[in-house]
Structure formats: C-alpha cells, structure tokens
Structure 1
Amino acid sequence: MKRRLASLIALAMVGTIALTSCSSGSGSTTPAPANTDSVQTEGKDYGGLKYLRMCSGTQGATWTTVGSAMMEYVGSAMKDMGVSASNGPGGSVANCRAVANGEYELGWAFTSTVYDAYGATGAFSEDEPMENLTHIMSIFPSQQHFVVPADSSIQSLADINGKVVNFTPVTETSYTVNNKVFEAYGINQDTIESAGGTVTLTRFNEASELLKNGELDLWTACIAAPGSAVSDMAFAPGIRFVNIDEDKIPQILEQLPGFTEMTIPAGTYEGVDEDVRTVGTVGSIFCTADLPEDVVYDFLKTIYENWDALKAINPTAFGDLDVNDWLNGATAPIHPGAEKFYKEMGVM
C-alpha cells in the first residue's frame, strides 16, 4: 500500500515550486454571485443528503476564505435538492480525522497530510489507516513561513534555542513540519526550553498578535502566500523571513513525504526584498468514498463554473491554476464522482 501511495505523491515532489506573482497584501476580494446555470441537479441521487459540511482552515486563512465562498456557490447549486452547505474552521490533521469519522463530509488538507492519514504514518502513526479517504481536487500550494521581527537577533534557524517559538497546535501540519525542520538543525522543543526558551502551541492568527506585542520570537505557519496575518505583521512591527539552509533541504524532504522545496518570491510581503527558501506542499479537498457520486460531481461542476470568481479572492495564491492541475499530487484514490468529472473534462 505504501509503495502505491508513494507513486501517487510523485507529482508533489518534483522540482521547486515558486509563486507566479507577488503582492504585499492578501489580495482578497468579495466573491462574485454564484454561477450555477450549467449545474443540473434534477434526477440526481444525493442519497438523502441534507447537510454538506466542509472543514477548512484557521480563521483569516486563505483556506477558510476560499472554502466559505465555495460552499456559498455549492449551496446555491444544490438548494433545489434540499441540501444546506456550510464551511467551518479546522486544521489539516484534524480535518482528516473529522472527515474520516463522519463529522464533516468534505475537508481541506495538504496532500502530504492525506498521505499520512491514509497510511497511518507521521502524525497518524497511532491511528487506524483512514483508507476511506478519497481525493476530490488539488488546490494552490502552501509554504512553511518562518517569520521574526525585523530587528530580531535570529539570523538562522540554528539560533532559536532559548527563544520563544510557536510550533502551532499539534493538530496542524505546520506543527509536524516545524519538528522535522528543526530536527535537521539538532533542535527540538526540549533544547529550546532547556536553553531558557518557551514553546507555544498557538494558532497562527493568535500567535501573530504575540509577535506584534513583542511576546514571540519566531512565528511559523504553513499557509498560502500572501497570508493576511503575515501582511499585517509586515506592516507593523515589520518582519524578516528566516530561510531554511540549502544543505538542510534534502534531509527535511526525506522526512516529509509530499513536500518539496519552494520559494516565496521577493516582494510578496512588504519589506521582504529577497526570495525566501523554504518547503511546502499542495493543498487538497477530500471526502470519504461513500459520499454519493452525484454530490461530488456536482460539487466539482460548481467549483469549475465559478473558478474565475474563486481565483479573484486571492489571485497570488491561485496563480495560473486551472482544472488541469486539480489532480496534481493526489495521495489518495480519486473519488468516483471526481473521476467522472475529470474524464468528462479530458483531464483523465
């Protein structure tokens, strides 16, 4: 099984992915009215579904903003079937468990996280394999951000022992990434604290307030750039990024299946005038295999019809992604409803 999964993530691990455009802000806009003219629900079998619930990201994150807009469009498309669509907060690791357990029908997670959940590895090593998870679509990439105040004494990730470092909650992928990245430097939570530092496990949007108030030395998150929380910190008090050293990248990627080296281009954030070397992964939307085929097909049809409006919410994060990219990096089997859609679109 693990060999088969490894082949599925090959696309997510080839080359270095860079953002295709730059912005000093989030680029977010209010979503346009739904376009559902070509989504025909009459005669479809939704299996008696009444609620289509999605869990996405932390408040203020691009995942949450886009996920909410998606479900507005989907709710409009499916209203004649009596389906109420909604989007709630979450995190990549927690979302896999929530969807697998039936708390939500749809979830956002990094393809690398789905890989771990499907095979009971990494953050899911004590879980049963979540082999009921299936891939619906891939979405824009996210990059691990290592942010310090502009006047910080931290020049390298090797300097964080004895500092106040936010690892983010254990239910978020960024927590796992932080552990693997810092491990490459011989650093862990114990070494940070034994040197007089503090480890916090705070959600990134709340942690940004700590950095603004001078209570945090290193802010971390795996988010799509530009993230509004980072843009706010760039405005005040001003920030710098800490690069991952090039010689550490191979060791880190070996420990993080589905991740690849990425670049956050200069100018993405105010005051950040040089490219940032980091690692990242591809986001995805997934569900369980028993979600009715027509539901998944109509979900994708609705997203396709409203893709330009969704891209307008954060043009920098989406870049030039289109339907031909929606299977990139898939690490779980493709849902039958998704397979039907992609074959119809000529993608499969």
Structure 2
Amino acid sequence: MKKSRVLVMLAVVALLASSMVFAAGAQETGAKAQKTVINFPTAATTGAVYPLGAAMCNLWNTKLPNVRASAQASAGGIANLNMLADGEAQLGVAVTSIMYESFNGIGSFEGRPNPNLRVMIGLYSNPNQVVVTDNSGIDSLADLAGKRFASGAPGSTTEVETSIHLNTSGIRYPDDLRVQYVGFTEAIDLMRNKQLDGAWIMAGIPNAAVTEMLSTAGGKLLNLDESLIGKLQEKYPWYGAYTIPAGTYPGQDSDVLTSAIKLTICTDARVDDDVIYELTKSFWENFEELKATQAPLKKVNPKDAVKDLAGLPIHEGAARYYREIGLL
C-alpha cells in the first residue's frame, strides 16, 4: 500500500515537472516568436561587403532584443534584389543603378518591377576613374577617339560604365576606339609597356590599380565635365557628381571631378516601420564603433545618407529617423 502511494506521488511529481517544462518551452517559443527575423544577403565572402553585413547584424542582435539578424554570402546586388522581391530577404546590399532597374522593371529586371523596393541606408559611392598616360595627349573623354583604351572585361560593370559615358559624350563605343578588353592588372602592364593610352576603372578610392598606374606607368586622372555628368543624370538618374580629393593618389595635386554610383542597404516596404526605424537608428548611433573595424565605412559621410539615391523611395521607418536628425 505504501509502495503504491509512493508510486502515485512520483507519477504526480513527474507530471507536474513535465507540465512546467512544457510551460517554459511555450514561453520561450513565444518569446522567440516576438523577434523579427532579418535575412541579409550581402556579397561574396572574399570582399569587404560581407564582413560589413556580418558586423551590422552582430550590432543589431546585441542592441535590439526584438531582432534576430543574419548576414549571408550571395552573388551580389542582382541576386539580393531578386531575394527581396521574392520575400526571401528583408535587407540587401545593392548599388542604386540596379535598384532603379528593379524598382522600374527594366534592364536586368525587364517586366518584373518591384514597387516595394525601398532604401534604408545610403552608404558610399563607387567613383569612375579614368586614367590616361601623360604622353597620350588626352585631356578629355573626347580625346579618346582613336586611342588604345582598356574598357574592362566584356560585360563587366567597368565596360558598361565605359560604354555609357563615352556614348553620352559623343564617342561611339567601341567603334571609335582601339579597345582592349582587359582588367585592371593587365591594363597596368600594358600601360607600363606603352601599349595602352588609358583605362577605365570603377572602384572605391584609393584603388591599388590606379595607384600603380599613376606611380609606375606615367598615368594621370582625367576630369569629367560637369555638363557630361548633367547629361548622364538626365538619362541615368543614379549618377552623382563625385570629387576625388587632391592627394588621394601619388602626384595628384588637385581635385578630380568624376561620376559615381551609390551603394546602399535596401529593404522592402512590407517590413515593419518600427523595425526599420530601430535598425537605421542603431546603425547610425553606433556608426563610429562600426567604422573602427570596417574599412568600407571610412568612406561614408553620415550627412550623405539620403543623397544620390536615383529618386528611389526611402522606407518610411528609415525616413522617420532621418527626419528626426534633420536630413529629410
């Protein structure tokens, strides 16, 4: 009899314990359900953008208890924008040129517009850098006609930039030039060997290839005319004017005017306004901490966060923060 009572009591205790565990699990599950999951595709792991995305997610996970963010490697901007459009991502990294195409359903996104695409953070600009040799006689894009010029690998971003700029300036690309379809490294060697008059490079500053060309191959940076940049903006609203400051490169004694495209953190209009507000605010309020470890942020001016965005809409949550700090 006593043994039976003991067994019954043990069964009751086990049942109560089981109930407590279930209750605790339900509470934990409920707590987890309150968190907003942020999937954040960035770029290849070999570049600087993926580590930046990972650092941002770590910041948000530390500072914002209602967010669980994770950065992932990706094939880059077009892939990121497709994931946003399909609802597979809540944030992404992309330049404004392909964002404009995605929003409007043109170019690489022909027939597939994404009206929900929004800007959250404008980061830094990638400027076009045109390097020509001192003895080439080239002082403007118009002087490139008939010259030996490296426009980048076929279909590359660099070649696209060469084509857009030269055709806008009145030089028929590639017909009016003696084009070499080579990358930065090959262009350096050709310029050193006096087999090349110039090269087009689109990259953040300072760029190692440009440094090499100016310091070892007798190169100089070419200014773009303000009127050309104005013409570009009429047809391609993602371009902004950009100044490469004097002293950025060896022997560069004066500022150089060129065009540039903005890199952004983009998002979807369907992501909750309050969540985007908190993500945006947390990023900028901890910007100096992030900048200390993330090289790409050293080129970012917080005051330019909402400039040169190709007329793309800013997410309402982010816009709320920018209005609070006087940028909108």
What TM-score, normalized to structure 1? Answer: 0.65
Instruction: Give ranges in structure 1 of 5+ residues lacking alignment.
Output: 1-41, 201-206
TM-superposed deviation, 1:143: 2.0
Q: Which residue of 1 aligns with 2:81?
A: 96
Q: Could you tell me whether the CA contact under 8 Å between 2:45 and 2:73 is conserved in 1?
A: no
CA distance 1:142–1:266, shift in 2 (3 Å): same
Indicate how the Cα distance of structure 1 residues 222 and 309 shifts in structure 2: closer, same or farther if over 3 A, else same: farther
Q: Distance in 2 between matches of 1:43 and 1:58?
A: 29
* Mapped partners of 1:222, 1:339: distance in 2: 30
Q: How does 1:1-348 map to 2 (within 5 A)?
A: 45-47=34-36, 49=37, 52-56=39-43, 60=47, 66-77=52-63, 83-86=69-72, 88=74, 90-91=76-77, 95-102=80-87, 104-121=89-106, 123-124=107-108, 126-148=110-132, 154-157=138-141, 158-159=143-144, 161=146, 163-167=148-152, 170=155, 172=157, 174-191=158-175, 196-200=178-182, 207-214=183-190, 218-231=198-211, 233-234=213-214, 236-237=216-217, 239-293=219-273, 295-312=275-292, 313=295, 317-318=299-300, 321-322=301-302, 325-330=304-309, 331-342=311-322
Whether the aligned pair in 2 keeps the contact of 1:56 and 1:108 (CA below 8 Å) is yes
- Alignment RMSD (CA, Å): 3.9
Q: 1:137: Cα distance to partner?
A: 1.6
Figure out how many residues of one structure are paired with residues of the other and give that number. Answer: 290
Q: Which residue of 2 aligns with 1:38?
A: none
Distance, in Å, in 2 between the alignment partners of 1:265 and 1:88 is 32
The question of whether the paired residues in 2 share the 8 Å contact of 1:168 and 1:220 is answered with no
Shift of 1:307: 0.6
The unaligned stretches of length 5 or more in structure 2 are: 1-30
Alignment deviations for residues 114-164 of structure 1 (CA, whole Å, 9 cap, x no partner): 23331234x347342221211112223332211245665654433254524
Supply the distance in 1 between the matched residues of 2:68 and 2:215 (Cα, whole angstroms): 45
Per residue, is there more helix in 1 or in 2?
Answer: 2
Shift of 1:178: 2.5
Residues 276, 316 of structure 1: alpha-carbon distance in 2 compared, 3 angstrom cutoff: farther
Give the counterpart letter for 2:305 in structure 1.
W
Q: Is the 8 A contact 1:59 1:89 kept in 2?
A: no
Counterpart CA distance in 2 for 1:257 and 1:81 is 34
- The alignment partner of 2:190 has SS state of coil
Give the TM-score, by structure 2 length.
0.69
- Residues 40-90 of structure 1: per-residue CA shift (max 9 Å, x gap): xx788445x3x62232589556x5664454344335446885543345462
**Structure 1 residue aligned with 2:21:** none
Contact in 1 for aligned 2:154/2:181 (Cα 8 Å): no
1:302 aligns to what SS in structure 2?
helix
How far apart in 1 are the matches of 2:169 and 2:278? 47
Secondary structure of 2:281's aligned partner: helix
Closer, same or farther: CA 108–160 of 1 in aligned 2, 3 Å: farther
% same residue: 27
Shift of 1:224: 3.6
Larger Rg: 2
Tell me by how many angstroms 1:104 deviates.
4.5
CA deviations over 1:215-271 (Å, ceiling 9, x no partner): 765443443433455345545546321222455343333222132333212211122
Instruction: Report the equivalent of 2:15.
Output: none
Q: 1:168 to 1:138 in 2, by over 3 A?
A: farther
Q: Which residue of 2 aligns with 1:22?
A: none
Q: How much does 1:273 deviate?
A: 2.0
Question: 1:317 deviation in Å?
Answer: 1.9
Contact 1:161 1:187 in 2 (8 A): no
| Residue pair 1:167, 1:175 contacting (<8 A) in 2 also | yes
